[in-house]
RNA sequence: AGGCAGUUAGCUCAGCUGGAAGAGCAUUUCUCUUACAAAGAAAAGGUCGCAGGUUCAAAUCCUGCACUGCCUACCA
């Protein structure tokens, strides 16, 4: 074994092993299942920190459950990624050949996309393998492969025939760069500094005008009314009158609607029903005309020829200019408001009227709310429950059609006549082209041009991965569904999580998962979101290269408190890398010492105090670690592992074990080795979910011909040797060691100098005295003490340095390495410090209410403390006097 | 505008069923002691955001405020 842990070779070896030996493949059986489906990354994806975190956490859970003996299954897959993917290929096409998708046409463009997909391959899946993910690689699913397509069609047809899917002309979010409608969840809002323009709308009487404040002066041509609040006394007389739109002089009415906020702007609003959601509602309530002035290319239409065909931004400039020239502009204020942008290309979203497919989600939402309200689905952390419910309760129908090419084409067929024109017959939803029209028996059909929102297929993911679309009597689906836990970031709670619940209940009559574990988002060290444009991205692949995959995973696990965002920079991985090295070397110590031992007893026998102590600490820690894993507090599990292994196991137990390891008595050596091995192996198991590579390697060295760690079953921790009192006793010894070490350091006693030590107890406590005598070899070993003797008569003591650790007083003779004056100062300082404490505690105890109301144990504890401190001061004073 | 988080050592964060402030990194000092210098031993560093309240006792519970971040919204 190398002296320094070198991860590369070991990681490659185990990656390959797990895949080739199908370590993580699962079949339905009689054993209890534990199922997780991966949030499928986009095919365009390249592993970033978010993926690394999300998948590490899933892997931790899967590996832990596997150790517990569950039949675990983690299903891998990728998403076709709709708009995002089409954009990537479109950009490539433009760059390489200077062509647009329209130059190629739908068929050829889609062919290009498929080619690109094969070329690019499943890069991200390979990266997940590299990360060590225990996915079942025989089950890789793609949201657009045959089985998943079947599922999408089946779902669509069911919903269509139920009357839940309908076509309607409505105001929708439109990205003119992507050329498609978007759902509300696909819009990202950003604050933008803009202006508020105050415009004059003249009454028919040309001397009077009202002032209207607007952020969108270019849409005046689409105005079909002005509106005021009915309770706004300033404008009562105005309601019902006509005003003229600036520039074009078109007459519109002033109406009243209670939604208008009196305090904003002038309290008068221009109503543009075709391009604003609120205005649209007002128009519906007041039966106003709806006039479209922006088309799907983001250009002006139905406006004076001067502005016709201009894109919105330019039109705004021109209109403002003209308004100003013609004296319609009263003033311009600065105004910051949030603007909706496309989540895939950041183009400003226009609202416009368009015919789209919608899914009525009212009933599904109710059931999805109920499932979480009743805690049938449990959220970790609970704080996400409320936003989830609120969102679902206010959900409008879902716009599911997209005007792009890459995706599941809507399986709706229209009957056409011999000229290819659509007839009035009812459209049919079906898997393939229908044989004949229900209404006119025609055999001519065309398919709907639109594709489905990517998230439609994603919403089916937990059932489609088990081939819900293909098979009717599906054993696997029955066995693995509902899945056990969904692990995800909160950014797709609405986009994805909620919709899976809706669809799961709709199609399976059963929730898709029992638990939802929502982790935070990774930020840089300044708390900023990581993004390429900010240049603050920490690449997980680099980290894996530089620090090792286990170090990456351990860092992520340690930072992953449920629901909390985490800040990460390159230095965050250092501590973890060092910890890996620690594990490696501690194991090396054990392994090297096992070399000439032919056989080790499996049964352990705690003999000494340190044995009993480490077993007690180990028992406590393992319980904590297991509980932490169980409730997705993976950060706590990682912390406990770190603390126990490094501090307790390495720094104390391994160090103390050296006394017996170097013993010439083979039995003594074997006895301590057995405990070292037992704890090491158990810890390796418990660590393996987070850091599978290093633990697999060490496990294999320790258990040459046995099962690999990933396939092992967690050792049962026996309570037989648990000794609570050993912890207290050991703590006493540790305290003495630490105090002597501190003294050595403070007084610059060279480490090579072995010192003589005497000790006494403050209250002549025989038991403690016995404990120390029994374990003085620990003190000798770790504090570099030559001899340690009990001192009966302290009265005669002269010129000793003294320290007090709990109830024990330790004396070290002054042997020229320290001046009396220096020691006096040290002791006086100690007295002053203790006195401060004494004051505080005395005050507490003199408080009558404390004595009256505090629990007895607490009072007792405080009294003992005070007593000890007083004793301490007494002794220090005495020692001070003995210094001559 | 509303909702949800967060505010603890220079930095990143634990601790929050209320009873003597913790870790890692960085800093300082010693040490290559036969697993590990990516280490060991030790030191220094904190009115636990601010102001109230409950309590014998508050980093921990309650209220208000401030700042930061996120989510939602019909910001004309």
Q: Please report the DSSP string for A691-712 in residue order.
A: -HHHHHHHHHHHSTTS--GGGS
Q: Is the pLDDT of residue A699 over 90?
A: yes
Cis peptide before A793, with omega less than 30 degrees from 0? no
Q: Strand B: which positions are within 7 A of a protein CB?
A: 3-6, 11-15, 19-20, 23-26, 29-31, 33-43, 55-57, 68-76
Tokens of residue A600, six digits? 């080790």
Residue A146 is predicted with a pLDDT of: 92
* Range with the poorest average pLDDT among A191-195, A217-221, A816-820: A816-820
Distance in Å from B62's C1' to A382's CA comes to 21
DSSP string, A784-812: TEEEEEE-S--TT--SEEEEEETTEEEEE
Q: A796 CA, B17 C1': separation in Å?
A: 52
pLDDT digits (tens, 9 = 90+) for A409-451: 999 999 988 888 888 889 999 999 999 888 888 888 999 999 9
- Tell me what the mean pLDDT of segment A744-757 comes to: 84
Examine the pLDDT at A860 and tell me if it is beyond 70. Answer: yes
pLDDT at A320 exceeding the cut of 90: no
Cβ neighbour number for residue A742 with a 10 Å cutoff: 13
pLDDT at A21: 95
Count CB atoms within 10 A of the CB of residue A799: 15
A261 touches strand B (CB under 7 A): yes
Confidence grade of residue A526 (pLDDT, cut at 50, 70, 90): low
How many whole angstroms separate alpha carbon A37 and alpha carbon A485? 8
> Residue A180: pLDDT above 90?
no
Phi, psi of A765 (to 5 degrees): -85, 110
Summarize pLDDT for A270-293 with one digit per residue, the tens: 998 888 888 888 888 888 888 888
Q: Residue A582, CB, less than 7 Å from strand B? A: yes
The residue that minimises its CA distance to C1' of B18 is A854
| Whole-number pLDDT of residue A731 | 92
Distance of alpha carbon A504 from alpha carbon A372, whole angstroms: 13
Please report the pLDDT score of residue A58 as a whole number.
96
Does residue A779 register a pLDDT over 90?
A: yes
DSSP class of residue A212? E
Query: What are the C-alpha distances in Å from A808 to residues A14, A740, A769, A871?
Result: 52, 12, 8, 11
> Percentage of chain A surpassing pLDDT 70?
98
Q: How far is the CA of A269 from the C1' of B71 (A)?
A: 29
Residue A335's nearest nucleotide, by CA–C1', is: B75
Mean pLDDT of A97-126: 87
Interatomic CA–C1' length for residue A562 and nucleotide B50, angstroms = 28
A574 touches strand B (CB under 7 A): yes
Calpha distance A802→A814 (Å, rounded):
10
Torsion angle in degrees (nearest 10) through CA of A390, A393, A394, A400:
110
Q: Is the minimum distance from the CB of A262 to strand B below 7 Å? A: yes
Q: Is the CB of A735 under 7 A from strand B?
A: no
CA–CA dist A797, A815 (Å, integer): 14
Ranking A195-204, A521-530, A855-864 by mean pLDDT, the lowest is A521-530
Can you tell me the distance from the alpha carbon of A799 to that of A606, in angstroms, rounded to the nearest whole number?
A: 41
The token pair at A300 is 């002006």
For residues A316 and A324, the answer to whether their CB atoms sit within 8 Å is no
pLDDT of A72: 96
Q: How confident is the model at residue A531 (pLDDT cuts 50, 70, 90)?
A: low
A578 touches strand B (CB under 7 A): yes
Q: How far apart are CA A111 and CA A826, in angstroms?
A: 83
C1’ B18 / CA A521, Å: 32
Q: What is the CA A849 to C1' B50 distance in angstroms?
A: 29
State mean pLDDT over A462-471: 90
**Element counts in chain A: helices (H) and strands (E):** 29, 29
Q: What is the largest CA-CA distance in chain A?
A: 122
Task: Read off the pTM.
Answer: 0.91
**A225-228/A251-256 β-pairing:** parallel
Average per-residue pLDDT in chain A? 89
Q: How far is CA A564 from CA A24, A55, A485, A530, A591, in A?
A: 30, 17, 18, 16, 39
* Spacing of A529 CA from B69 C1' in Å: 10
Alpha carbon distance A101, A798 (integer Å)? 96
Phi (first) and psi of residue A623, to 5 degrees: -60, -45
Please report the pLDDT score of residue A686 as a whole number. 96
- Can you give the pLDDT at residue A15? 96
Question: Which pLDDT does position A816 carry in this prediction?
Answer: 65
Q: Would the CA dihedral through A57, A60, A63, A68 be positive or negative?
A: negative
Nucleotide nearest to A650 (CA to C1'): B35
Q: How confident is the model at residue A817 (pLDDT cuts 50, 70, 90)?
A: low
Shortest-distance nucleotide from A571 CA to C1': B25
Q: pLDDT band at A599, cuts 50/70/90?
A: confident
The dihedral through the CA atoms of A168, A169, A175, A176 has a sign that is: positive
CA of A818 to C1' of B45 (A): 27
The answer to whether A547 touches A576, Cβ cutoff 8 Å, is yes
> Is A867 near strand B, with its CB below 7 A from some atom of it?
no
The answer, yes or no, to whether residue A798 has pLDDT greater than 80, is no
Tell me which residue of A777, A866, A755, A693 sits closest to A13, measured CA to CA: A693
One-character DSSP codes across A79-121: B--HHHHHHHHHHHHHHHH---HHHH-HHHHHHHHHHHHHHHT
Å between CA of A511 and C1' of B62: 38
Residue A518: beta bridge partners? A488
Tokens of A500: 């899976």
Work out if A829's Cβ lies within 7 angstroms of strand B: no
* Tokens 């397509």, located at residue: A149
Can you give the pLDDT at residue A515?
94
- Place A322 in a pLDDT band, splitting at 50, 70 and 90: confident
Q: Is A85 exposed, middle or buried (0-12, 13-18, 19+ CB in 10 A)?
A: buried
Query: Using the CB atom, is residue A631 less than 7 Å from strand B?
Result: no
Residue A534 has pLDDT above 70, yes or no: no
Which residues 456-515 of chain A have a CB under 7 Å from nucleic chain B?
490-491, 494
Q: In this predicted model, which residue has the larger pLDDT, A703 or A534? A: A703
In this complex, the residue with its CA at the shortest distance from the C1' of nucleotide B40 is A651
Lowest mean pLDDT among A33-42, A61-70, A678-687, A800-809: A800-809
Top-confidence range, A31-40, A227-236, A757-766:
A31-40
Q: CB of A80 under 7 A from strand B?
A: no
Region A764-790: mean pLDDT is 89
A25: exposed, middle or buried (Cβ count in 10 Å: 0-12, 13-18, 19+):
middle
Task: Give residue A527's pLDDT.
Answer: 64
Q: Which nucleotide is nearest to A196 (CA to C1')?
A: B76
pLDDT digits (tens, 9 = 90+) for A563-580: 788 888 777 899 999 999
Edge-first strand listing for the sheet containing A412-415: A428-429, A412-415, A445-447
B70 C1' – A39 CA distance, angstroms? 21
Q: Is the dihedral of CA A831, A834, A836, A838 positive or negative?
A: negative
In tens, the pLDDT along A635-651 reads 999 999 999 999 999 99
Confidence of residue A747 (pLDDT cuts 50, 70, 90): confident
Q: Is residue A774 very low, low, confident or very high in pLDDT (cuts 50, 70, 90)? A: very high
pLDDT of residue A818: 65
CA of A783 to C1' of B29 (A): 18
Q: Which residue is nearest to nucleotide B4 (CA to C1')?
A: A383
User: Which nucleotide's C1' sits nearest to the alpha carbon of A260?
Assistant: B76
> Is the separation of the CB atoms in A827 and A880 below 8 Å?
yes
CA distances from A82 to A91, A110, A365, A495 (A): 14, 12, 24, 14
Answer yes or no: is A577 CB < 7 A from strand B. Answer: yes
A190 touches strand B (CB under 7 A): no
Q: Which residue is nearest to nucleotide B36 (CA to C1')?
A: A585
CA of A348 to C1' of B29 (A): 60
What ranges make up the beta strands (E) of A176-241? 180-182, 187-203, 209-214, 225-228
Q: Is the pLDDT of residue A217 over 70?
A: yes
* pLDDT over 80 at A814, yes or no: no
Tell me the C-alpha to C-alpha distance, in Å, between residue A514 and each of A55, A357, A634, A643, A648.
19, 31, 18, 32, 37
Which nucleotide is closest to A272, CA to C1'?
B76
Task: Check residue A532 and give its pLDDT.
Answer: 67
Residue nearest to nucleotide B75 (CA to C1'): A337
Q: Which nucleotide is nearest to A577 (CA to C1')?
A: B38
- Å separating the CA of residue A129 from the C1' of nucleotide B71: 33
Residues 340-369 of A with CB under 7 A from strand B: none
Backbone φ and ψ of A663, nearest 5°: -70, 145
Nucleotide B3 C1' to residue A191 CA (A):
19
Residues A536-547 as b or e (16 or more Cβ within 10 Å = b): eebbbbebbeeb
Which backbone phi and psi does A758 adopt, to 5 degrees?
-120, 155
Residue nearest to nucleotide B57 (CA to C1'): A850
């Amino acid at each position: 074994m190398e002296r320094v842990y070198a991860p590369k070779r070991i990681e490659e070896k185990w990656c390959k092993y797990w895949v080739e030996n199908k370590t993580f493949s699962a079949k339905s059986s009689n054993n209890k299942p534990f199922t997780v489906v991966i949030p499928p990354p986009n095919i365009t994806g390249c592993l970033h920190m978010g993926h690394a975190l999300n998948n590490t956490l899933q892997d931790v859970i899967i590996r832990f459950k596997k150790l517990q003996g569950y039949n675990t299954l983690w299903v891998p897959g990728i998403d076709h990624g709709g708009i995002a993917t089409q954009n990537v290929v479109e950009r490539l096409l433009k760059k390489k050949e200077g062509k647009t998708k329209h130059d190629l046409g739908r068929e050829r463009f889609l062919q290009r996309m498929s080619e690109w997909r094969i070329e690019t391959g499943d890069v991200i899946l390979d990266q997940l393998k590299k990360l060590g993910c225990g996915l079942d690689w025989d089950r890789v699913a793609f949201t657009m492969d045959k089985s998943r397509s079947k599922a999408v069609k089946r779902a669509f047809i069911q919903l269509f025939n139920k009357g839940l899917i309908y076509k309607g002309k409505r105001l929708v979010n439109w990205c003119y760069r992507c050329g498609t409608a978007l759902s509300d969840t696909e819009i990202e809002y950003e604050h933008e500094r803009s202006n508020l323009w105050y415009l004059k709308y003249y009454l028919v009487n040309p001397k009077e005008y009202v002032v209207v404040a607007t952020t969108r002066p270019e849409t005046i041509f689409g105005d079909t009314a002005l509106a005021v609040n009915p309770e706004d006394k300033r404008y009562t007389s105005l309601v019902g009158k006509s005003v003229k739109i600036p520039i074009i002089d078109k007459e519109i009415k002033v109406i009243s609607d209670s939604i208008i906020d009196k305090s904003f702007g002038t309290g008068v609003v221009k109503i543009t029903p075709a391009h604003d959601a609120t205005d649209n509602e007002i128009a519906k309530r007041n039966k106003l005309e709806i006039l479209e002035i922006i088309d799907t290319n983001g250009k002006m239409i139905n406006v004076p020829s001067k502005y016709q065909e201009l894109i919105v931004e330019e039109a705004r400039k021109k209109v403002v200019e003209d308004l100003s020239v013609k004296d319609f502009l009263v003033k311009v204020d600065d105004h910051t408001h949030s603007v909706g942008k496309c989540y895939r290309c950041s183009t400003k979203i226009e609202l416009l009227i368009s015919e789209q497919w919608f899914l009525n989600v009212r009933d599904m939402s109710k059931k999805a709310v109920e499932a979480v309200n009743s805690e049938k689905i449990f959220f970790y952390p609970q704080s996400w429950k409320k936003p989830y419910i609120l969102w679902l309760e206010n959900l409008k129908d879902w716009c599911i059609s997209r005007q792009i090419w890459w995706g599941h084409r809507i399986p709706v067929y229209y009957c056409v006549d011999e000229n290819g024109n659509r007839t009035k017959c009812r459209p049919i939803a079906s898997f393939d082209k229908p044989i004949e029209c229900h209404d006119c028996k025609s055999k001519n059909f065309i398919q709907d041009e639109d594709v489905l929102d990517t998230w439609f297929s994603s919403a089916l993911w937990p059932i489609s991965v088990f081939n819900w679309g293909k098979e009717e009597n599906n054993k696997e689906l029955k066995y693995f569904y509902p899945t056990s836990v969904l692990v995800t970031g909160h950014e797709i709670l609405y986009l994805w999580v909620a919709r899976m619940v809706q669809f799961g209940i709709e199609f399976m009559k059963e929730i898709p998962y029992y638990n939802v574990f929502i982790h935070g988002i990774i930020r840089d060290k300044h708390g900023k979101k990581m993004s390429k444009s900010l240049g603050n991205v920490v690449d997980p692949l680099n980290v894996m290269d530089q620090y090792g995959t286990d170090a990456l995973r351990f860092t992520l696990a340690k930072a992953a408190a449920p629901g909390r965002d985490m800040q990460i920079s390159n230095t965050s991985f250092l501590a973890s890398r060092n910890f890996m090295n620690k594990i490696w070397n501690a194991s090396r110590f054990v392994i090297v010492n096992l070399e000439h031992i032919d056989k080790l007893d499996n049964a352990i026998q705690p003999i000494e105090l340190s044995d009993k102590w480490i077993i007690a600490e180990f028992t406590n820690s393992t319980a904590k670690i297991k509980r932490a894993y169980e409730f997705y507090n993976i950060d706590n599990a990682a912390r406990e592992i770190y603390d126990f292994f490094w501090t307790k196991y390495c720094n104390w137990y391994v160090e103390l074990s050296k006394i017996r390891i170097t013993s010439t008595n083979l039995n003594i050596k074997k006895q301590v080795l057995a405990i070292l091995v037992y704890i090491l192996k158990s810890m390796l198991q418990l660590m393996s979910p987070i850091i599978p590579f290093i633990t697999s390697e060490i496990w294999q060295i320790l258990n040459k011909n046995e099962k690999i760690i990933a396939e092992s079953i967690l050792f049962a921790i026996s309570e037989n040797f648990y000794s609570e009192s050993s912890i207290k006793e050991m703590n006493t010894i540790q305290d003495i060691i630490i105090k002597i070490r501190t003294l050595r350091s403070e007084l610059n006693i060279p480490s090579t100098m072995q010192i003589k030590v005497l000790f006494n107890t403050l209250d002549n406590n025989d038991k403690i005295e016995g404990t120390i005598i029994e374990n003085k070899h620990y003190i000798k070993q770790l504090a570099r003490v030559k001899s340690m003797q009990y001192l009966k008569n302290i009265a005669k003591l002269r010129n000793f340095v003294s320290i007090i650790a709990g109830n024990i007083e330790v004396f070290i003779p002054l042997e020229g390495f320290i001046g009396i004056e220096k020691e006096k100062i040290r002791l006086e300082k100690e007295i002053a410090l203790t006195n401060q404490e004494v004051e505080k505690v005395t005050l507490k105890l003199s408080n009558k209410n404390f004595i009256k109301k505090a629990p007895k144990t607490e009072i007792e504890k405080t009294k003992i403390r005070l007593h000890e401190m007083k004793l301490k001061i007494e002794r220090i004073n005495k020692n001070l006097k003995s210094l001559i």
